[in-house]
Amino acid sequence: MPVFGLTGNLNCGKSTALRLLKKKGACIFDVDSKIHEYYKNKKGSIYKKISALFPQAIFDGLIDRRELGKIVFSDRKSLLRLEAIVHPAAVRDLKSWVKNARQSGRVCVTEVPLLFEKNLEGIFDGIILVYVKRDVFLKRIKKNLKLSAATASARLRCFNPVEKKMKKADFIINNSFDMETLKREIDILWGRLKQYKHE
């Protein structure tokens, strides 16, 4: 069965779309959730490296993801150092999951925020892009993540422009509207995923 990568820029609704696809019957894998597991594993090499490199992000023995985000998104060198610690393990686990998912007999979808940025499109049978219009994005980022427009724009620069991603994606979901509209979009998408044949 095919394996699809689901991607999109910051706060566009990727995780919500993934949850809806899971309810439809897709087997799923969330790379961000896997990374959060790394952060919580105090005995793991990733936790140890992050705590050594970014001690100011450690509170009560835990990695404070919000504080870590403030540090790395305000300094590109710090971001690159963090990515060098985390991304190799995440990509390894992702590829392992994809290999096993192909044998599952089910439609499988994994959320990969930096799919295009890390040139991972080749490991999937098809790519699903979720996007929101910029004005909607700014409203949601302020409400959901409590970030200013300037901070949100700075984080958004870590992603490739959505227009470029649209040209590479096999399926595009516009999540600029309400939940009911998104559910209808996912209904249509699910039917297409089940019938998909990789060319």
- How are strands ordered across the β-sheet holding 171-174? 27-30, 108-111, 3-7, 126-131, 171-174
Boundaries of every domain in the chain: 3-195
In the chain, how long is the greatest CA-to-CA distance? 51
Q: Give pLDDT tens digits for 46-103.
A: 999 999 999 999 999 999 998 999 899 889 999 999 999 999 999 999 999 999 999 9
Q: What is the pLDDT of residue 145?
A: 76
Looking at CATH, the fold of the domain delimited by 3-195 is given as Rossmann fold (3.40.50)
Picking from 162, 126, 117, 116, the residue whose alpha carbon sits closest to that of residue 11 is 162
Helices (DSSP H) in 62-161: which residue ranges? 65-72, 76-101, 134-144, 149-156
The predicted model gives 27-49 an average pLDDT of 96
Q: What is the pLDDT of residue 152?
A: 77
Structure tokens at 6: 């689901």
Q: What is the pLDDT of residue 147?
A: 78
Q: What is the pLDDT of residue 192?
A: 96
Entry pTM: 0.91
Q: 199 or 41, which is more confident?
A: 41
Q: What is the pLDDT of residue 27?
A: 97
When pLDDT is cut at 50, 70 and 90, the band that residue 10 belongs to is confident
Amino acid identity at 18: L
Structure tokens at 162: 């959505």
198, pLDDT greater than 70:
no
When pLDDT is cut at 50, 70 and 90, the band that residue 140 belongs to is confident
